[in-house]
Chain A
């Protein structure tokens, strides 16, 4: 058994995009995945590729990564099961304060070279007749897109195996310099090891500033109630956001299947898979408030996922000084799908010594971060 140049731990979209990038850069690559491609956070994700603008580092990252997704889809490299839908995002303003924030966001995005525009109340009502009346307006980001992450993970895994990347159907139980120990007792050497195991990465890299942040999603049956963009409220800007308690926001996504996907919630409860009914009830009631027609739509299924969250809301990408030869690619919280392609490019640049697509320093895993507030 030859020693690969790089061993990627984790077969989610982040790990698979990274493995692909490294393979295309000429490295020999192996992927270790304990379940199957897309079994973890990828399988629970919403599939919204979106530019977020909370910080300049976040805008830069999302802009680069979204462009890579668009190129990927437009290049025809994805199966139809990936359910690519270039529907764009509408950020809804319910108050004058949110409307002012929307104006500010439009300027921020435009300055970063990202298309964004304001829709007033009338234009919004025309664009999304299913929304309640009385909203002040919205920001439209037309180039955001929606996709189906598990199918993308599958397509990537099959592509990689076809390219000769080794797929190892095992769990990594420990790391040592230059090698990973697997649950079958074997030891697997590698030039570099990339940890892309989502929220579970801390099991292999203790001390990583990362916690699982649980989210709920509800999908409806196929319904004639239609929305034409990913719809998100700007309301979260108005609330005091903390790492602490449970929170919700209105977030509805049209699926290519004719279903609607309804979010979102955040809680710090470890890896508890139990449904928090009260929180789901609030989340859905908020969705009904924004899209009144949702109230009669049959609800099909609820699930939870665990986002890998960091204290400063930026991902952890780069070498892990605690264990030389080990690289980290996680911490994307709710933006793992959006940020996967650029994460892959940053890891490739780091490992092969090539030029990074964006300045990597804001995302280094050993950067200085605000004190963690993970007690809740």
Chain B
């Protein structure tokens, strides 16, 4: 199954891209996705436990994915 990973701001700079299609095993969790990202070039610049949203809602590392989700890795927000 695939998920779409979105990266923003400093995290997009770190990995050099703002969207990645990831092929992942059924039953994968947000934590698994983060592990994959950390192993990519520049992934060592992500914090150990970044904020994540699944389909535009804040989610925990243990959230299980069904495939087709939009998984966004959210840097510290700074609106206003």
A binds B: no
- Using a CB–CB distance below 8 Å, which chain A residues touch chain B? none
